[in-house]
Chains A and B, each alone.
Chain A
Amino acid sequence: MDSECLVLLPRVCAVLADPRQSLPDDTSLEKLLDWFTGLTKEDHGLALLESCPCLVDYISTVCLDKTTDPSMLSFSLKLSGMLAASQHGFNLLQDRSILGVAYDSERWQVAGLWEDPSVRIGWIHGLSNMMRHTQAFHFLDQAGLTKPLLQLQTDPSLFVASAANHLLARLLTFHQPATTSHTTQGNGLTVPPNKEEVELDVTMETSPGSGCSITMEILKHLESSLESDSHTQVLQGLRLLALTLPELEAPLRGSVIRRVLGPLDGLVREGRRAAALMAVLLATYRSGPCDSRLVSLMASMLNSQNPSDAALCAAATLHPETCPPGLRQKVVAVLLRPLQMVTGVTLLDWPNDRHTDGQTDHRHTDGQTDHKHTDQQTDLRHTDGQTDHRHTDQQTDHRQTDEDHRQTDEDHRQTDEDHRQTDTDQDRQTECRSSLSLLLDHLNHKPSCVSLLCVSVSSAPYITDMDSSASVILAVVSLLRICNGHSPSPESKAAIGCSKASTNLIGCSKVQRCCLDSLASLSTCPGAVERMVEVFHVLVQNLQNPDSDPTVLQKNYQAMLRWLSVSAEPNSLTDLVTEDLLPVLKKRVCDVRWEVRDSTLEFLGQLCEALSCTVTPILLEALCDQESYVRASAISALARTLPLSDQQGEPGNRTQEQTLGQLLDILSQDSEGFPRRAVVQFFISWLKTHPSSSSSSSSSLCSVLSLGSTDLDWEVKVHTLELVELLMEETLPGHQESELGSAPPPYGGSGGTNLLTHTDLTHPYAVTPSQPSPLLTHTPSETHTPLTHTHPTHTTPTHTHPTTSVVCGLSRLVELGVVTALLNGLFDCDRPVALKACSLLLRLRDAVCPSRSLGKGAMTTDDTTVAKVTFDLRGQVWEREVTRKLQEKRGSDWVKESREVGCDRPNKNRDSDRTDGAGSEACDRSTGKSVCEGSARVCEVLWSLGLEERQSVLSQSSDHVQNSPLSLLEDILNAIDTSHTDKVIVDCY
């Protein structure tokens, strides 16, 4: 903490502790807390407490006052917890008896402050901050704070309840008994019950004050919550469990699971709160060794009577890395069945699959836990897995002991099993029929149909394998057709009875969006290419439908691009594109909805790039669109087609010139920023494919630089500077290697370095260094512009004398207006613009201008020639500022030089020494000004601007001064001082 803050803090504390004062800004206290949090990060607030004893006084005053403002009390509670996070701070606050008073919830209830949720939140956060050492844990225990905390778990405020749950989870994991070895079976599942767990329970019950009592209290509460009739209590209990279980270690973990298994089973039977329940089961499964009974419960959830619940559970379970292997097939069946029923595409081998499911599950269960019952049996009976397990064990024992009558028993058992099998088959068929009928009901009801199919289709990409992917793609395609009003294939038996579902889906954009997202993901699955034509047809069909929602069309385009990108031979689709796609795209470019026009143009640009075709006339037409977003997209699409139009020699130079003219008109006249930004970006792309040296290029670039650097939109200006950067690299190639790359920015400004790296990667015309540069090892796919498009006239002649090249380059930059554009940027009020310009000017100066520090004697003739290059600054906004800086610089240089050569040296001599200088200096002598006839030397200006200093200022956030802790403290004090004057009303931004 700096000394100024240290001086102000006691005053601020005094003001905050005064109940008559109120804070005008609701963010001040939170920001203050942020600051303290930062300060206490390293030493848990030790230094803060030592240097600012006023903080403890402040907390004491606020917490003893029952009339304090709720937000102030909340802040004090959070702060006290933060300070008590260290044992030293804790002891200090305990010595002053502050903690007991501050965290006495009853006291705040009596004072009427507890009603305010901010106080309750402060109370929880304070305790949470504090829980870093055992003393704090014991304080919570002894003060009996667990009880109010448990009550807050079902607080009416979501924020309070959630914070309480997090703290409870933390308390449960805080004081875990030592980890012991855990008996785990080969299949990863554990064998219940565990002796250690039982012992642990006994220890927790009988060890008050050891921290176990808190754990016990929370666990009992958790158990009763899960058995409660209150929806909120159950939900919060489940949330706590989901938070805690992944963090718990054996044997506590096992103990917790054993306690909650019964209530969880009850909840599964009730068939409600499916999502929260499944979250708990999955959290448990994923977090470590798992009780087999949990897997049984998960299986039961998947057999839920409510197809929507079952689908949600299945979707949650689907994650390939964490889905219990035995459930995978069941999960897939639950998810794909609705899709199969509606589309009629066979995705599952069922109704036989039901049987297969059972067998699979049965086998899996056998393999894992020696259970003899199937999932279906478990589901139908809703019995505890443990009971069944014991029952089966008994049977097995019986079989093993009765050796003499083995054959007879075998026969009996066989008969029993046959009977049982028949019963089970009948049960299964009945269950299957009822389940089908339920699913059908759901599918015939529009909202549940839409929701089910969305879950089903969204999960589809994650359940495909080599065999099924083609069918899944077909099913999604069929569903899209149904949404477009086509009936499902008439020969499919599965779709019978779903006619209402099909009607419900016509024009349903929610399902369409899901299908298209899914289809895009399915493009990469094995065997997808075989379905390419069908997919393409349905996507074109979507485009042809005039009623398609704009969001659907956008996703349609995205899916189309994904499929095009995976096509082994995009050219094979050319006919399809030219015959089917382009005509409909032409229509969509004229759609009444701008969203559709824009998405179409965006797509067109990407399509042209992917398939190497050009659609320039359509794009040119769109330049006159009334919507600025659309105009911008048309320009961006044109930029994407640039390399292609050059390659194919179209649309011809004349049209190209017209296009350039049109774009310049947009840059100078369009009232919206988006098209203007796009124009400058177009020229960036253009410069990458065209030489800047041609006359048309030069004039266009001059116009872009002049218009762009004085634009009203900050991003147009930044893009203009990106163009400047490219021009600099192109014009001063040798120096990019030798100077630009070698010298890091003196103040460590990240801007310059990053810019350089970025440009090297993206600009294919940067001169290749003599040694292969790692920067150039990128693959062509990393850049949008093919590397083969180098223009022969554009390469810098290697035999040119470096200095001549620099002089020419600098003169050329001046000619193009680069220096003016950079200075426009430097003096811009938008910080990102000024920073970028400053970085570029620094690079230009370091690359081109001879260093003054070398001293006059060290300067070569060539350096002097470079130093002579001038530019015109007449009429510029910054003319006065630059002139002033030049004068200041000259003044200081003169003083410096005078000191170097001796103070008694007459002025005359100084002048005579400079006669070998530039014309402007001669001019200076005659006029006494730094600038002659409106022109100034580039290098001299660059050295005079104090660029390093500027860069260091600009590199900081624009609000770093106003957002500093000192500024915050001042604001708090000032707000109090002026509280008597007219209050500023917080209304809207």
Chain B
Amino acid sequence: MPEIKVTPLGAGQDVGRSCILVSIGGKNIMLDCGMHMGFNDDRRFPDFSYITQQGRLTEFLDCVIISHFHLDHCGALPYMSEMVGYDGPIYMTHPTKAICPILLEDFRKITVDKKGETNFFTSQMIKDCMKKVVPLNLHQTVQVDDELEIKAYYAGHVLGAAMVQIKVGSESVVYTGDYNMTPDRHLGAAWIDKCRPDILISESTYATTIRDSKRCRERDFLKKVHETVERGGKVLIPVFALGRAQELCILLETFWERMNMKAPIYFSTGLTEKANHYYKLFITWTNQKIRKTFVQRNMFEFKHIKAFDRSYADNPGPMVVFATPGMLHAGQSLQIFKKWAGNEKNMIIMPGYCVQGTIGHKILNGQKKLEMENRQTLEVKLQVEYMSFSAHADAKGIMQLIRMAEPRNMLLVHGEAKKMEFLKDKIEQEFTINCFMPANGETTTVITNPSVPVDISLNLLKREMALGGPLPDPKKPRTMHGTLIMKDNSLRLVSPEQALKELGLNEHQLRFTCRVQYRKTEFTIFIVFSSSYLVKAWLVLKGYTIQHLPDGTVMVESIVIKVSSSAEEPNTKVLLLSWSYQDEDLGSFLSTLLKKGLPSGLSSM
């Protein structure tokens, strides 16, 4: 029986680096190739030695698909392609291909900041890796080879994020990557058609959460920023180069406009311009509202948000600054934080998760005294807020997607085990489908229905229609009768006559016969005849034509019923029944009826 195997090397019962291996129809596909920012050594990358020895990834993998540009989904890609040596095709959407190098460069910088790190990719490697990428368009089926095809669907989450359908023959898998089922300020909601995949591999970050509406989170955010600015404080928002920073910028820009606010908003490292460029370039990937109003006013041309110069940090008065990196581990965001941390009027808003070993992690844990270099201590007096703006589907959204795609099996990744367990039960109850949640390194195997394509002759279809059958409909399976010809690696269903003609064969008849013997008594004779009449009556009722032959034989279709006397035993009557293979159903039914329909005590042979 054909089967699909799914093995997470990362993101199995955790929210670390996503890297999922799928084997389908003899093809091996890697879904995402992420890194874990919590480690400084080889543990940050997936261990590819489990896939194949001696790093022969190109021979093993048919393709790699990247769902979106976040580092936990694409961060190990240059390592894999340029250092381990994968040389095959890599697929991602156009925006992901454009933005990926920026984030990889951003991360490379962080790595250079951390001394003593080895085994890390260079700028040239990032470029060479990107040159291997084949861009995907939404809803466009791409043939990886003769058998394997992939198709991307809109996923929301971040610009360019996509869900992918992978299909080999009649077997298919959908991988969601990270997705969002509710539209936000710049992106739309994820969508997929009713593709009925064998497995739907879904992220489950917010598996147990019914997220408060994004509007509420936005209101909170604006309120907090407003209050701080009003009291003359400064607001620092550490962000990664591209992604949620743009969403927050739109939010603040609109608010500033509406409230006629005067405090400056700055965006560090010159990324505003770059981000604008990509958001303009990929306007079709944003939400409907932005697309519609694009001609009148580009949402990404910010009137109030200006480029930040490091000298501005010392300026008096309120201001809002977006600065990189997002976890406060080095660079500009850390430098500004050090300057502003001592003033309780100021505020820092962390819009994303921070790994252990960063200042971001420490202040989110509530540490008020931070040890800095040279044994200096930094007192954290400013207000610390955590406000996750990452767009993931919540439990409701995941259920909604299942309803959309109607998968035969469900597999959860990118979530915490306990939360997954809860959602798994819910899915299995509501949809009565299997739901799996393999841990990293564990393989889930799903048996699929074998599907063998068969061509049907036109004559056979016409004959079926002539008999009153419905017109062929690909969505409504039905039974067809005919002769199956297996020739030249193909299967065809044709009428028996055509088959005989094509193959130059003579027809042979196969008949089944049955003999029922009764003792010759009046009562028996009565019974026999009444039985015959009963059978006849039943046949007439069912619309069969009964033919009476001159010798007393009765024929129905190919069935022959004859009553005769036994030469050896004169006291018995024999009922002979014969039918051809085509009328096997009817023949065996009549035989049973004649045998069992008679009162007990009558013997049958």
Contact = CB atoms under 8 A, between A and B. Distances in A.
A536 interface: no
Contacts of A987: 15, 205, 352-353, 388, 390, 392
Interface in B318-338: 326, 329-332, 334-335
8 contacts: A31-B357, A598-B131, A714-B109, A959-B329, A962-B361, A967-B371, A975-B365, A989-B37
B440 A159 contact: yes
Mostly helix, strand, loop or mixed at chain B's interface? loop
B367 A974 contact: yes
A962 B329 contact: yes
A513 B358 contact: no
B439 A158 contact: no
Contact of A978 (B36, B356, B366): B366
A895 interface: no
Interface residues of A, number: 72
Interface residues of B, number: 84
Most chain B beta carbons < 10 A, residue from A513, A677, A975, A984 = A984
Nearest to B329: A959
Interface in A967-983: 967-968, 970-971, 974-975, 977-978, 981-982
B502 interface: no
A550 interface: yes
Contact of B357 (A671, A712, A967): A967
Interface stretch (A21-29, A137-145, A735-743): A21-29
A972 to B, nearest CB: 9
A117 interface: yes
Contacts of A956: 115, 373
Contacts of B358: 959, 962
Given A25-B361, A513-B87, A832-B112, A595 B334 contact: no
B364 interface: yes
A830 B127 contact: no
B178 interface: yes
A447 B352 contact: no
B339 to A, nearest CB: 11
A110 interface: no
A715 interface: yes
Interface string B105-138: 1000100111110000001000110111000000
B105 A988 contact: no
Contacts of A554: 128, 131
A286 to B, nearest CB: 14
For the complex of A and B, list the 9 residue pairs with the smallest distance between their C-beta atoms, beginning with the closest.
A159-B441, A27-B38, A712-B270, A958-B113, A25-B356, A158-B441, A829-B335, A958-B330, A957-B115
B63 to A, nearest CB: 11
A963 B36 CA distance: 15
A49 B151 CA distance: 57
A959 B114 contact: yes
B269 A712 contact: yes
B113 A988 contact: no
A551 interface: yes
Interface string B433-460: 0000001111100000000000000000
A26 B274 contact: no
A162 interface: yes
B270 A984 contact: no
Name the residue in B73, B131, B332, B443 with the highest tally of chain A Cβ atoms < 10 Å from its Cβ: B131
B494 to A, nearest CB: 26
B255 interface: no
A831 B353 contact: no
Interface in A832-889: 832, 877
A962 B374 contact: no
Interface in A669-716: 671-674, 677, 712-715
B71 interface: yes
Interface string A920-960: 00000000000000000000000000000000010111111
Contact of A971 (B330, B356, B388, B441): B356
Given A447-B145, A956-B115, A156 B371 contact: no
Given A446-B146, A977-B366, A984-B386, A551 B131 contact: yes
Nearest to A629: B127
Interface of A: 24-28, 30-31, 116-118, 156-160, 162, 279, 446-447, 451, 454-455, 510, 513, 550-551, 554, 595, 598-599, 629, 671-674, 677, 712-715, 829-832, 877, 953, 955-963, 966-968, 970-971, 974-975, 977-978, 981-982, 984-989
B72 interface: yes
Contact of B362 (A447, A674, A974): A974
A957 B113 contact: yes
A454 B59 contact: yes
Contacts of B145: 446-447
Contacts of B37: 989
A455 B359 CA distance: 50
Given A31-B356, A599-B131, A988-B352, A118 B113 contact: no
Interface string B37-52: 1111001000000100
B311 interface: yes
B372 interface: yes
Nearest to B333: A829
A957 B178 contact: no
Interface string B61-79: 0000000001111010000
Contacts of B131: 550-551, 554, 595, 598-599
Interface in B69-98: 70-73, 75, 87-88
Given A877-B310, A958-B330, A962-B362, A26 B14 contact: yes
Interface string B190-217: 0000000000000001100100000000
Contacts of A714: 109, 112
Given A30-B39, A629-B127, A978-B365, 5 more contacts: A157-B441, A451-B59, A829-B335, A987-B390, A988-B390
Contacts of B364: 984
A665 B169 CA distance: 54
B600 interface: no
B356 A989 contact: no
Contact of B439 (A157, A978, A985): A157
A953 B374 contact: yes
B8 to A, nearest CB: 10
B192 to A, nearest CB: 20
A943 B10 CA distance: 52
B206 to A, nearest CB: 8
Nearest to A677: B123
B39 A27 contact: yes
B479 interface: no
A960 B113 CA distance: 10
Contact of A598 (B15, B88, B127): B127
B355 interface: yes
Contact of B356 (A510, A673, A966, A968): A968
Given A829-B332, A974-B365, A158 B205 contact: no
Nearest to B43: A30
B272 to A, nearest CB: 10
B175 interface: no
B365 A963 contact: no
B344 interface: no
Contacts of B40: 963
A832 B366 contact: no
Contacts of B367: 970, 974
A510 B114 CA distance: 38
Contacts of A451: 59
A957 B365 contact: no
Given A671-B277, A877-B311, A978-B365, A279 B43 contact: no
B279 interface: no
A618 to B, nearest CB: 20
B353 A986 contact: yes
Given A598-B131, A970-B367, A981-B366, A830 B331 contact: yes
B371 A551 contact: no
Contact of B373 (A118, A160, A551, A953): A953
